Amino acid sequence: MARPEMEGEWIEGWPDRKKARIMPSKDDQGRTIFARAPVLELGGLTTPTDASYIIAQLNMADPIHPDDYDFQVTGLVEKPLVFNFEEIQQLPSVTVRTTMECAGDDGEYFRWQKDGGPKPSRLKVQEEQGGWNQMAGEEDGDDGAANIDEIFDAIPTTCLVSGGEWTGVRLKDVLELAGVKPEATHVHLVGYDEGRPDPTPIYLSTGRTDIEIEDPGVINYDKALDLEKALDPDTILAWAQNGEYLRHVHGAPLRVIVPGWSGNWSVKWLKEIELLDYEKPCYYQTQYFVLGEGPDDPNKVPCKELGVKSIITNPIDEDSPLKVGTHRICGYAWSGLGAITRVEVSTDDGESWQDAYVEPSSDRWLWRRWSFKWDVHEKGNYVIKARATDEEGRTQPQTPWNFQMKHFDGIVPVDVEVV
């Protein structure tokens, strides 16, 4: 029997099976500068590069040909160095598989947990083009204060997470060649991209447009990484992602990968590494990617390692109603401090929990897949929850509400009716 859905381009996947693709947002020149990953549609651990999320905070750097590329190592080093692409590739290479999650991933759920209202859906697709860089324009007639409801409507913050395989060299090896002076404490990582930070993402995460934000003017994207994390053998300068050379949007020719810490540490389009004896107050370190109770909280701290988290990819609210019978509850779990050791599932809104099966893996930083066979005999309404624990014994959630709504690792229930 001819099955029409099996005709066509079978190398690219059966046409009846929707190919998992990013959910993009474009700039005014039609270039993708922001994209969410189709996390609910993925079938393994490595997010295909076509489907990996993308974030550019400033104006995306111009593409740099590998032959024209170099970066420098400066500051508190014995010997300042300049590396070109070939010189970097001559160092011993290393491959690290890790989950990368944007600090703002699922931030909407913080808002929902606090304020109630309809539960944000991971399926929500951004209709508007433009991303946040176009949202804060003069359209509303005032000083760039975008309408917060428009922003939330236009830019979902879910699905900003991907699993990937990164190949490059250890940052540690590069630092050793330059010779780090004993007084150095931080590694200032600077990208080739420049711009003046747009306040809209802060409005987006706080849900407020009346916040005083210190304007740093035009800057390069930069971070001041703790020397200790920089020397971790899994912190690398990567030139390849998922088996192919880096793509421009992901930071080609060379980017930093800092496993376990939220994506903003993984500086793309690396331009400079500067050794410092203090924590430089980079905009995306001390103003934007921070955990605290409010913009003036004296105890606010930079976002660093992620908490411990699980998401349910099946079923989702939109699958309701389900039939009485057997269903597979499954998803991903990851942690900023190492491997996931346990995932528990509840189908009674957290009254009772049972262990899920966690797929074995030797990759410490990569998310794990987990599943749970659910036999449901009684009709009714069910609230499904998942709860992950990591090798440090941390159970979700770890991250309390914070004004920037970063590092959300709370438990998001799935509501289904069984008929």
Ligand X SMILES: Nc1nc2c(c(=O)[nH]1)N[C@H]1C(S)=C(S)[C@@H](COP(=O)(O)O)O[C@H]1N2
Binding site for Mo ion (CB under 5 A): 55, 102, 263-264
* Contacts of residue 181, Cβ cutoff 8 Å, sequence gap at least 6: 76, 77, 78, 275
CB nearer to Mo ion: pick between 25 and 389: 25
How many Å apart are CA 99 and CA 160, to the nearest integer? 11
For the bound state, the minimum distance from the C-beta of residue 185 to ligand X, rounded and expressed in Å, comes to 22
Question: Which residues, 6+ apart, have CB-to-CB distance to 56 below 8 Å?
Answer: 33, 34, 193, 249, 268
Q: Give yes or no for residue 96 binding ligand X (CB under 6 A).
A: no
Interaction partner, residue 250 (ligand X, Mo ion, none; CB < 5-8 Å by kind): ligand X
The tokens for 148 are 């917060």
CB of 174 to ligand X, least distance (A): 17
Toward Mo ion, which CB reaches closer, 262 or 335? 262
Write out the binding residues for ligand X, residues 117-136 only, by CB under 6 A: none
With CB cut-offs between 5 and 8 Å by kind, which of Mo ion, ligand X, none does residue 202 bind?
none
Shortest distance (Å) from residue 139 CB to ligand X: 24
Q: Which is nearer to Mo ion, 251 or 315 (CB)?
A: 251
- Indicate the residue whose CB is closest to Mo ion: 102
Cβ atoms of 110 and 412 within 8 Å: the answer is: no
Residue among 140, 122, 101 at smallest CA distance from 336: 101
| Enclosing H/E stretch for 152 | helix 148-154
**269 or 374, CB closer to ligand X?**
269
Cβ proximity to ligand X: between 58 and 418 the closer is 58
Total binding residues for ligand X by CB under 6 A? Answer: 19
**Residue 53 touches which member of ligand X, Mo ion, none, C-beta under 5-8 Å by kind:** ligand X
| C-beta closer to Mo ion: residue 132 or 374 | 132
The minimum distance between CB 184 and ligand X, in angstroms, equals 22
When binding is defined by CB under 6 A, the residue of 191, 197, 259, 260 that contacts ligand X is 191
250 belongs to the binding site for ligand X (CB under 6 A): yes
252 binds, among ligand X, Mo ion, none (CB under 5 to 8 A by kind): none
Question: What is the C-alpha separation between 55 and 103, in angstroms, rounded?
Answer: 11
Contacts (Cβ under 8 Å, ≥6 apart) of 308: 333, 334, 335, 336, 337, 340, 388, 389, 390, 394, 395, 396, 397, 398, 409
End-to-end C-alpha distance for the chain, whole angstroms: 33
Nearer Cβ to Mo ion (56/76)? 56
Listed residue (48, 286, 34, 284) closest to 160, CA to CA: 34
Residue 145 — φ and ψ, nearest 5°? -75, 100
- Tallying the residues shown for the chain, one arrives at 419
Say which entry of ligand X, Mo ion, none residue 387 contacts (CB below 5 to 8 A, set by partner kind): none
Task: Kindly state the smallest distance separating residue 327's Cβ from ligand X, in Å.
Answer: 32
Question: Distance between CA 197 and CA 266 in Å, rounded?
Answer: 18
Report the alpha-carbon distance of residue 33 to residue 133 in Å, rounded.
Answer: 10
- List binders of ligand X among 46-75 (CB under 6 A): 52-58
In whole angstroms, the minimum distance from the beta carbon of 299 to ligand X comes to: 23
Is 25 an interacting residue with respect to ligand X (CB under 6 A)?
A: no
Task: Give residues 342-381 in contact with ligand X (rule: CB under 6 A).
Answer: none
**C-alpha–C-alpha distance, residues 252 and 249, integer Å:** 7
Nearer to Mo ion, 264 or 310 (CB): 264
Q: Is 238 in the site for ligand X (CB under 6 A)?
A: no
Closest CA to 333 of 308, 307, 305: 308
Task: Please report, as ranges, the residues that interact with ligand X according to CB under 6 A.
Answer: 52-58, 102, 191, 193, 221, 250-251, 263-264, 266-269
